[in-house]
């Protein structure tokens, strides 16, 4: 059995002053939690702690802001999550990797003050973004609630990313965004489309003006819009979701009809995928996304 999860998506502009960004961020998190004490998972937009002012050189800001995940910034974020007893996603940050490269990385901290996940953006927005590309799909478990997957902004345009997270059993995919451009309208559609074709909750959290156009959304596994923030302005979008609903939809079908994780007949041949020089093995496909026999027994 799972319990409903109250999420808080903080649609806000980035912190621009690296010297005091973490202190100011901690105060903002405390303010938000005082106003929304029931929130268990609190998230901020892409590069919230590593923003640049208009006219600043993004490369200089990236170099100045990059730290190892276990550096001083990470230690303070972990302590903040422990202090407030929440799951904290502070947006993505510039990570100084052990390989000497800089990544756009979303860390997650547990109520125990531990970093439990870190996702490196797989699809930087080329040629405008120069961070190194990640290569791993990341999911993690929220004890008593369900499984969450992470994506960052442009990742949402590539269906393979959300599909893999859903196949790994994600019930909710959190997409951290910093989009100030007109294609936010398409991103909202993509949040619904990714939810529908993967039967997963989608939470797309955009920055507020001037860093983003807002319109943060929460979409259910059948594509229904549960909540939406306004365009541009700062807001805290909250919702209470039962993540087990994703597994129910996968097992019983969207609208009680469509089961996208069970399309192959027993003993059928693999489907060749020339684009990927690979294939879909029917049994392997079925074993993903929490739709195996064990998962069916749990939710029935």
Q: Point out the least confidently predicted range of 13-27, 127-141, 207-221.
A: 13-27
Buried residues in 24-42 as b, exposed as e (16+ CB within 10 A): ebbeebeebbeeeeebbbb
pTM of the model: 0.93
d(C-alpha 234, C-alpha 31), whole Å: 14
Q: How high is the pLDDT of residue 142?
A: 96
Distance CA 116, CA 162 (A): 20
Count Cα atoms within 13 angstroms, Cβ side, for 20.
3
What mean pLDDT value characterizes the chain? 92
Please, is 137 exposed, middle or buried when counting C-beta atoms within 10 Å of its C-beta (0-12, 13-18, 19+)?
buried
pLDDT at 293: 39
* pLDDT tens, position by position, 15-57: 765 556 899 999 999 999 999 999 999 999 999 998 776 667 7
Cα four-point dihedral sign 125, 131, 137, 142:
negative
Q: Evaluate if residue 96 carries a pLDDT over 60.
A: yes
Beta pairing partners, 104 = 94
Can you give the residue range of the structural domain that contains 20?
5-299
CATH number for 24: 3.60.110.10
d(CA 72, CA 96): 12
Structure tokens at 81: 């999550």
Q: How far apart are CA 127 and CA 139, in angstroms?
A: 28
How many percent of the chain have pLDDT more than 90? Answer: 82
- Longest C-alpha distance within the chain, in Å? 60
Please count the structural domains in the chain.
1
pLDDT above 70 coverage of the chain, percent: 92
Asked if residue 7 lies in contact with residue 239, where contact means CB atoms within 8 angstroms, the answer is yes
Q: What is the mean pLDDT of residues 223-234?
A: 96
SS3 sequence, the chain?
CCCCEEEEEEECCCCCCCCCHHHHHHHHHHHHHHHCCCCCEEECCCCHHHCCCCCCCHHHHHHHHCECCCCHHHHHHHHHHHHHCCEEECCCEEEECCCCCEEEEEEEECCCCCEEEEEECCCCCCCCCCCECCCCCCEEEECCCEEEEEEEHHHHHCHHHHHHHHHCCCCEEEEECCCCCCCHHHHHHHHHHHHHHHCCEEEEECCCCCCCCECCEEECCCCCEEEECCECCCEEEEEEECCHHHHHHHHHCECCCECCCCCCCCCCCCEEEHHHCEEECHHHHHHCCCCCHHHHHHHC
**Residue 148 token pair:** 């969450």
The pLDDT tens digits of the residues spanning 147-169 come to: 999 999 999 999 999 999 999 99
């Amino acid at each position: 059995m799972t319990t409903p999860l109250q999420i808080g998506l903080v649609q806000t502009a980035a912190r621009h002053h690296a010297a005091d960004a973490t202190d100011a961020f901690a105060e903002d998190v405390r303010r938000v939690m005082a106003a929304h004490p029931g929130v268990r998972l609190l998230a901020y937009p892409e590069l919230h702690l590593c923003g640049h002012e208009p006219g600043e050189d993004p490369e200089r800001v990236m170099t100045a802001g990059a730290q190892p995940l276990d550096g001083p910034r990470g230690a303070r974020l972990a302590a903040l999550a422990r202090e407030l007893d929440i799951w904290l996603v502070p947006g993505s940050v510039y990570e100084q990797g052990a390989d000497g490269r800089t990544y756009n990385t979303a860390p997650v901290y547990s109520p125990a003050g531990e970093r439990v996940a870190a996702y490196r953006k797989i699809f930087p927005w080329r040629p405008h973004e120069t961070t190194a590309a990640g290569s791993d799909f990341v999911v993690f478990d929220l004890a008593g609630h369900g499984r969450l997957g992470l994506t960052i902004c442009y990742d949402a345009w590539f269906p393979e990313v959300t599909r893999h997270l859903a196949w790994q059993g994600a019930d909710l995919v959190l997409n951290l965004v910093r989009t100030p451009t007109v294609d936010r309208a398409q991103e909202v559609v993509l949040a619904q489309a990714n939810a529908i074709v993967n039967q997963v909750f989608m939470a797309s959290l955009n920055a507020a003006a001037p860093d983003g156009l807002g319109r943060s959304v929460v979409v259910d596994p059948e594509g229904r819009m549960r909540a939406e923030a306004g365009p541009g302005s700062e807001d805290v979008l909250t919702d209470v979701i039962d993540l087990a609903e994703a597994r129910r939809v996968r097992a019983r079908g969207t609208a009680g009809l469509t089961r996208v994780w069970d399309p192959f007949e027993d003993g059928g041949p693999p489907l060749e995928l020339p684009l990927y020089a690979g294939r879909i093995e029917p049994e392997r496909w079925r074993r993903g996304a929490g739709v195996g026999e064990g998962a069916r027994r749990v939710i029935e």
